Chains A and B, each alone.
Chain A
Amino acid sequence: MSTLPAVLVTMALFTAAGLLPAWRLVGWRPVTLFLSPLAGMLMAGIAGAFTVLVAGGVLRWFVAIVVSVNAAALASWLAHREDGEEAQGLAGHHERGTADHFSSAWSLTGLVCVLGSVGWCLRSVVRPRIGFDARSIWLEHATWIYLGHATAHAALMNAALPFAHQSYPPLGGAVVAIGWSVSHTQSYRVGQVILATATAVAVGAAGCVLVELGTATGRRLRVHGGGLLPASLVATAGVIAAVAWCFGVYGLAGGSATNGYVDLLWSASAVGAAGFGLAMPLGSSSLRVAAVLMATGGLTKNEGAAAGAALVVLLVLRWWKHRPDVGPGDDLGALPPAAGLPPQGMGSSVTARLASIVAGHSRQVAWGIFGLASVIAWPLTMILVGAQPDPDLSGRRHGSIASRLDATVRSLADHLHPAGLALAVGVFGLLLMGTLRRRLGIGADPWIWAMGAAEVLATAAFYVIGTTVIDFWLATSVDRVTIFANSLGLAAIGYWSVVAAAAALGPRSLVSPAGAPASRRGLPGADPPVGPRGAAGSDGGLSGAPSGVQSGGVLHQSP
C-alpha cells in the first residue's frame, strides 16, 4: 500500500473508532468532525500505553478499547433513547437548535473554511523530510510499540537509547504503529504523513473554537435585535479568525508541523482544550471537548501533560468562581442554583461548599478526574516502573542555575512575540470591552493568560533545572516549545476580534451597559448553570439551542 492510501485508511480507522463516542460526548457541532479522529487517536495512545506497560500488541489493545468504548457509547445512546432523548448525544440540546438556520449555516461555513485551511497547510507534507526528533524519537517509539510489549518495555529500560527519550508519552508512536499495522506499510514516510495529518486534525479542532464562538456571538446579536448583516459579519469575523489562526500556527511551527514532530499536535490540542475549557461559556459539552483534547495533548508529549495539569487547575478555579453561591461582588454574576445543589448561604465552610458542589457535579468531576489522570498518569508511571530518565533532566548539570536562567529568559523572550502581542491586545480589550465579553458569556482573558504563563514557567523551569548544555538545548528546541504559548496568544487575539466585532456592530441593547440589567447577578452573558441536569443540556447555547432565548436569555436563563 502506498503512502496516501495507507494514511487514508489509518485516519478513516481512527475516525470510525471515535465517531460514536465523540458524538455521544459532545453532540453534533463543528468540532465533532475533528474530535472523532482525535478520540480514535486517544484510544490508540491508551492502547500504546498498555502495550508498553502490560503485555501484548498494540492492535489488540486498540481493538479491545475501541469495542469497549463504543459499546459504552452505544449503551448510553440506547438508554437515553428509551428516555426519549434519541439522537441528541450527551450534549442534548445541540440538535434542538436545528431550527436555528443562522447557527447551522455559519457552523457549516466555518467548518468548511477550517477544513480547507488545514488541508491547504498540509500540502507541505509533500516534502519527505523526516525531522531529527521524528527519526530518533517518535518513529522510533512507533517501531517499539509496533513490535509489541517485549521490545517496547525493554526499550524503556535500555540505557543505550537516551536519544530516543524512551519515557515520552506513547500517543504519537501508537498512532503510527497502528497505521503501520493496518496498512502493512512500515515506512518512516507513512509515519511522517500520519503524524502530520494527526496534527492537522488537532489544529482544526482548535480552530473550531473561533468558529463556534463567532457563530454563537452572531446569533446572540440577532436575539438581541441585531440585524442579519451585523450578526453575519460577527460570525464571519469568527470564521476568518479561525482560518487565520490555522495558517498562523503553521507559520509558527514551520517545518515541524509536517516532518514527523508532534509539537504542533500537542500544542494545538492544548490550545483547543484551553479554548473550549476557558474561553467558551461553561457547559458540559465544551468541558468534554476540552477533556478529550487535554488528554490527547497530555498523552502526546510531556509539555502537553504540564499544560493539561495547568488547565485542570484553571478549570477547577473557573468552576469554583462560577459556583452557585457566588457573592454579589463577583464580576461574573451568580448562576441559578443547579439541581442537587444547596441554596445560597448553606454550607458555611469551604469544605462543605466544595463537597456540595462536587456532589452536584458528578459528571464534571468525573471528566475532570479523567482529564487529570490522563495527563499525569504516564509521567508518574514512568517513574514508578523505573524507566530510563530523560537525558535532559539527569546527569551532571552544565552551567550554574543563574546562567541557565539568564539564557532561558533571554531566549524565551526572543520567541514569545505573538504571546506578547496577545497580552497587549488583551489588556486593551479588557479595559474597553471586558464587560461585554462577560455579558457574551466568553471566559475572561486572564484565564488564557494564566494558562499560557503556567506553561511558559514550566518550560522555563525545565530548562533551568535541566542538565543539557543550555545554549545547545535552547537553540535546538525553544522555537518548538514556544509554539503552544504563541498559538494560544493568537487564539486569544482571535477571541478578542469576535468580541470587538460584536461591540462595534451589536445592537445597543446588548453592547450598552445601560441596556443590561442593573444587577450584575444574572447578566444575560453570565455563564450557564453547570448542574448535573442543566449541564447535560447546557453548553452556553453555542450550537444554536433556542432554549435560552425562550426564557429571556441566550447563554443562560435569566433569574
Chain B
Amino acid sequence: MGLLARIAALAVFCAAATILWSYASRGEGTVDVLSSSRSVRLAQFFDGYYRCLGANARRLVSPDEPVHISEHPPGAWITVAKAVERWADLVDRRSEAVVELRLVDSTGPGSCAGRSIVALPGGLGRSRSLPSRGPASRSGPASRSGPASRSGPASRSGPASRSGPASRSGPPRRSRLAAGAPQLRAGSAESRS
C-alpha cells in the first residue's frame, strides 16, 4: 500500500473518529443532563404526580370494582390509566363499570398539581358520584406512598384477572381507543375537592 493509500486510510480514520467522538460527546452531555439534580427533581415531581393521582383514585374505587375511565377531556384518559391501571379492574364500556373515573382541573386540597380524579356513576352500581377526598394533604406529589407500594402486584387485583373477555360473556369489545366517549349524565360530574 502506497503512501497515498495510507494517507487516505488515515483520512477515513480521522473522519470516523471525529464522528464517533462527536456522538460520544453528545451522549456524555445527555447523560450529564439526565443525571443533574434539576432533572432528578423534575422526575420526582412526575413520579409523585402519578402516585398522588393513584392514591386519589384508590379513595374512590376499590380494586374489585369494574372501572371505566372517561375520555373527557381528550388526552386525560391515558393520564388516569397510568395512575390506576396497575390495580384497577378496567373495562372499556361505561355500562359495565361500577364507577367512571375522570380527570378534572382542581386547585383544592385534594388536587395533584392542579388536577384531581373524580368518580362518576357507572352502569352497574353506584347511583351517585363519589367525592374525591383528596390525597394531597397526606400524599402529595412528593409522597412516596402511591398505589404501587400499597397495592402492587401482590394485591392479586390485576386489571384483567376478572374483567377480561375470558371471564365475561358476550362479543369481543371494541378497542377502547376506538370506542366513542361515553355520554355523561347531567349533573353527575362533581367533586367536593
Contacts and interface: CB of A to CB of B under 8 A. Distances in A.
Q: State yes or no: do A and B come from one complex.
A: yes
A159 B165 contact: yes
B160 A159 contact: no
A121 B27 contact: yes
B175 A154 contact: no
A188 interface: yes
B152 A250 contact: no
Main secondary structure on B side of the interface with A? helix
Main secondary structure on A side of the interface with B? helix
B150 to A, nearest CB: 11
Interface stretch (B5-13, B57-65, B128-136): B5-13
A497 interface: yes
Interface in A232-286: 237, 240-241, 243-252, 254-255, 258
Interface stretch (A10-18, A84-92, A507-515): A507-515
Given A159-B174, A251-B28, A127 B9 contact: no
Contacts of B158: 143-144, 147, 151, 154-155
Interface residues of A, number: 82
Interface stretch (B39-47, B103-111, B115-123, B183-191): B39-47
User: In the complex, which range does the number of interface residues on chain B fall in?
Assistant: 35 or more
A22 B28 CA distance: 31
* A150, A153, A511: most-surrounded residue (chain B CB, <10 A): A150
Interface in A491-523: 493-494, 496-497, 500-501, 503-504, 506, 508, 511-513
B149 interface: yes
B64 to A, nearest CB: 14
A175 to B, nearest CB: 14
Contacts of A473: none
A250 B31 contact: yes
A500 B1 CA distance: 12
* B19, B26, B154, B175: most-surrounded residue (chain A CB, <10 A): B19
A248 B5 contact: no
Contact of B153 (A146, A255, A501): A146
Interface in B80-125: 81-82, 85-86, 90-92
Interface stretch (A27-35, A311-319, A331-339, A391-399): A391-399
* B78, B160, B165: most-surrounded residue (chain A CB, <10 A): B160
A34 B116 CA distance: 45
Contact of B43 (A127, A188, A249): A127
Contacts of A428: 12, 15
B83 to A, nearest CB: 9
A489 B101 CA distance: 46
A475 interface: no
Contacts of A436: 1
A500 B23 contact: no
Interface stretch (A128-136, A321-329, A371-379, A447-455): A128-136
Nearest to B48: A128
Interface string A113-156: 00000001101101111101001100110111011001101111
A432 interface: yes
A123 B172 CA distance: 45
A493 B19 contact: yes
A252 B34 contact: no
Given A154-B164, A159-B92, A428-B12, A186 B40 contact: no
Given A123-B31, A161-B159, A252-B23, A501 B40 contact: no
B11 to A, nearest CB: 8
B85 A164 contact: yes
Interface in B149-175: 149, 152-154, 156, 158-167, 172-175
B47 A130 contact: yes
Contacts of A381: none
9 contacts: A136-B81, A159-B92, A186-B148, A244-B21, A246-B27, A251-B24, A251-B27, A395-B177, A490-B19
Interface of A: 120-121, 123-124, 126-130, 132, 135-136, 139-140, 142-144, 146-147, 150-151, 153-164, 177, 180, 186-189, 237, 240-241, 243-252, 254-255, 258, 388, 391, 394-396, 418, 421, 425, 428-429, 432-433, 436, 490, 493-494, 496-497, 500-501, 503-504, 506, 508, 511-513
9 closest Cβ pairs, A-B complex:
A251-B27, A129-B43, A503-B9, A154-B164, A155-B160, A248-B23, A500-B13, A124-B34, A159-B173
Interface of B: 1, 5-6, 8-10, 12-13, 15-17, 19-21, 23-31, 34-35, 39-40, 42-44, 46-47, 50, 78, 81-82, 85-86, 90-92, 148-149, 152-154, 156, 158-167, 172-178
